């Protein structure tokens, strides 16, 4: 079994919880509160800036040309493609780029990005591969899940199309290949990889909850 599949098996309960979350369910049928979606756009935009930084740091740590090329490509794709689509979503919902760039991270977004960047700077290349995997694979799986649930086009159809596009599938394939190479090359790090993967997966679930409840700092 490829190590990416093993990690997905280990995180299957979290994966299912994400698919059943009301944010995802309501996004699929088009009934999600617009303010919850606006909140998600703003927070995910801030998240993606650090997610792209994670790939850039990982690319600099890579010791082989293939891995370096793949990771820097994903960093560029995140900055130039995925974030541009977020800016388009934001514009459609009356959110300016200036407003996006002023957004304060929520507690969950701060926790997630801090974990990713700490892993990037302090962790091994194997741990990094596992920490970044839940976001990419998770959004592809939830994109496919929402596409299967949607019975007609609605205002969130462009979101579903973005995360089931050929371009996004290509990026996720590169992520999986990276995880599998690390799983094969560093068998002694499987426990650390699993821990990093599950931490990111749990934070992915919390990100949906954060957006649905429009989490704020208490003080």
Which one from 82, 109, 135, 182 is the annotated catalytic residue? Answer: 135
66 flagged as catalytic: no
Inter-residue contact 28 to 149 (CB < 8 Å): yes
Residues 27-59: tens digit of each pLDDT: 999 999 999 999 999 999 999 999 999 999 999
What is the predicted pLDDT for the residue at 97?
87
| Average pLDDT score over residue span 108-132 | 97
What is the predicted pLDDT for the residue at 146?
98
Phi and psi angles of residue 175, each rounded to the nearest 5 degrees, phi first: -65, -45
| Average pLDDT score over residue span 60-72 | 91
Q: Is the pLDDT of residue 121 over 90?
A: yes
Residues 188-198: tens digit of each pLDDT: 999 999 999 99
Q: Is the pLDDT of residue 16 over 90?
A: yes
Mean pLDDT for all residues in the chain: 95
Inter-residue contact 108 to 151 (CB < 8 Å): no
Inter-residue contact 90 to 96 (CB < 8 Å): yes
Per DSSP, which regions of the chain are E strands?
Answer: none
Q: Is the pLDDT of residue 173 over 90?
A: yes
What residues contact residue 193 under an 8 Å CB cut-off, 6+ apart?
Answer: 3, 7, 126, 127, 129, 130, 179, 182, 183, 186
pTM of the predicted protein model: 0.95
Query: Is residue 69 very low, low, confident or very high in pLDDT (cuts 50, 70, 90)?
Result: very high
Can you tell me the distance from the alpha carbon of 28 to that of 17, in angstroms, rounded to the nearest whole number? 15
Query: Is the model more confident about 96 or about 118?
Result: 118
144 flagged as catalytic: no
């Amino acid at each position: 079994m490829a190590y990416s599949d093993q990690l997905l098996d280990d995180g299957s309960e979290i994966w299912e919880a994400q698919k059943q979350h009301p944010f995802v369910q309501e996004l699929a049928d088009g009934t999600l509160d617009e303010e919850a979606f606006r909140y998600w756009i703003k927070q995910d935009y801030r998240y993606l800036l650090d997610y792209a930084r994670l790939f850039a740091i990982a690319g600099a740590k890579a010791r082989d040309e293939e891995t370096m090329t793949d990771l820097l490509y994903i960093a560029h794709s995140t900055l130039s493609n995925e974030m541009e689509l977020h800016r388009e979503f934001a514009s459609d919902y009356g959110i300016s780029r200036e407003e996006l760039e002023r957004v304060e991270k929520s507690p969950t977004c701060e926790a997630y990005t801090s974990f990713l960047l700490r892993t990037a700077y302090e962790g091994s290349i194997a741990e990094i591969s596992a920490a970044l995997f839940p976001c990419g694979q998770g959004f592809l799986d939830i994109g496919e899940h929402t596409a299967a649930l949607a019975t007609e086009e609605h205002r969130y159809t462009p979101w579903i199309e973005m995360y089931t596009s050929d371009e996004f599938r290509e990026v996720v394939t590169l992520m999986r290949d990276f995880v599998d190479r690390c799983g094969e090359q560093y068998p002694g790090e499987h426990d650390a990889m699993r821990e990093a993967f599950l931490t990111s997966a749990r934070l992915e679930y919390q990100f949906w909850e954060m957006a649905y409840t429009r989490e704020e700092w208490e003080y």
